[in-house]
Amino acid sequence: MKNYTVAVLGATGAVGREMLRILQERNFPVGKLIALGSERSNGSFVSFAGEQIPVQEATKESFAGVDIVLGAADNQTALEFAPIITQNGAVFVDNSSAFRQYPNVPLVVPEINPEDVRKHEGIISNPNCTTAISLTAIAPLRALSPIRSIWAATYQAVSGAGIAGPVELQQQITALGRGEPYPPQVFPHQIAYNLIPRIGEHQELGYTSEEMKLQYEGRKILHQPELTVSCTCVRVPVMRSHSVSASICFEDHVDVAAAREILAAAPGCRLLDDLAAEEYPTPLLSSDQDLVLVGRLRQDLTDSNRLNLWCCGDQLRKGAATNAVQIAELLIK
């Protein structure tokens, strides 16, 4: 098997470190690993395959001879280096939102639209973490009837805000337990013992940018330009893994038993749906692994063509790093 030169752009961040871990877990054929970061990270080290890899500052010269670049950096960094990466002949699998809506850039969840990888012109985008988790659970149900619309509420872990999110939650809990104040710094309000019904910037009609991603990205991934999604995104005091309550409207009536059968066999999913036995997805069960856990399937009581479900997935893995490595696996096939 051919080995590949792989660069991870943003290797010291939470997603970058997960990418390194998952490349190793999935035995991706890495001949040479290049860890790239900001000037601040230059000279530090990351672990890969039992070795300490020095982190280099990303420059225009960093991508010569590289086959695949996994992007775990911010939009500005992705926009800056994407032309250089493609000019050097590498394929850029980018986790930022910079290119997701570019018409010539595939937006891929490998369990749903793997064939779109073939359409790339040097850049392939990873979807938003909540989009990837939600659609992995929802898309298989199209085998029963076309989807018309989705209502969703997301319950997103603090680690979705970066490394500083879990630190703030833990320190707030500790401080409050001692009766001491801990002013919020990462989040706009106290997150310990609280919910914050706002993630992302205000965008349109009272929705935030995070809430609109499920519609815009869902349309592209599912190849349904008329898909409508109404979403509310909530930050919750959970360390890891996002949860989603979704109500899916189909063109036809969908039988719950048939839906369970589909999801039990769906790639990337694990069905946990026995309410009497207390078996249903939770963030803890879904953390630190790659399957999207799906359960609480039930007929909607207001519309016979609507089905409700609950799903949980690790946003650092399937919602980001694992999805990117899966895309890279499709590339080398």
286-303 pLDDT, tens digit per residue, is 999 999 999 999 999 999
How many C-beta neighbours within 10 Å does residue 206 have? 7
Domain with CATH 3.30.360.10 in the chain: 132-315
Contacts for 172 with CB less than 8 Å, ≥ 6 apart: 182, 184, 190, 191, 192
Total-model pTM: 0.95
- Which CATH number is 4-127+320-332 given? 3.40.50.720
pLDDT band at 151 (very low <50, low <70, confident <90, very high): very high
Residue 114 has what pLDDT?
98
pLDDT digits (tens, 9 = 90+) for 76-102: 999 999 999 999 999 999 999 999 999
pLDDT band at 173 (very low <50, low <70, confident <90, very high): very high
Residue 43 has pLDDT above 90, yes or no: no
Residue 112 has what pLDDT?
98
Percent of the chain whose pLDDT exceeds 90 = 96
Chain mean pLDDT for the chain? 97
Average pLDDT score over residue span 167-185: 96
Residue 308 has what pLDDT?
98
DSSP states along 221-270: HHT-TT-EEEEEEEE-S-SS-EEEEEEEEESS---HHHHHHHHHT-TTEE
Alpha carbon distance 262, 329 (integer Å): 25
Alpha carbon distance 315, 128 (integer Å): 9
Alpha carbon distance 194, 196 (integer Å): 7
CATH superfamily of 132-315: Dihydrodipicolinate Reductase; domain 2 (3.30.360.10)
Catalytic residue positions? 129, 242
Q: Are 273 and 280 in contact (CB under 8 A)?
A: yes
| Amino acid found at 318 | K
Domain with CATH 3.40.50.720 in the chain: 4-127+320-332
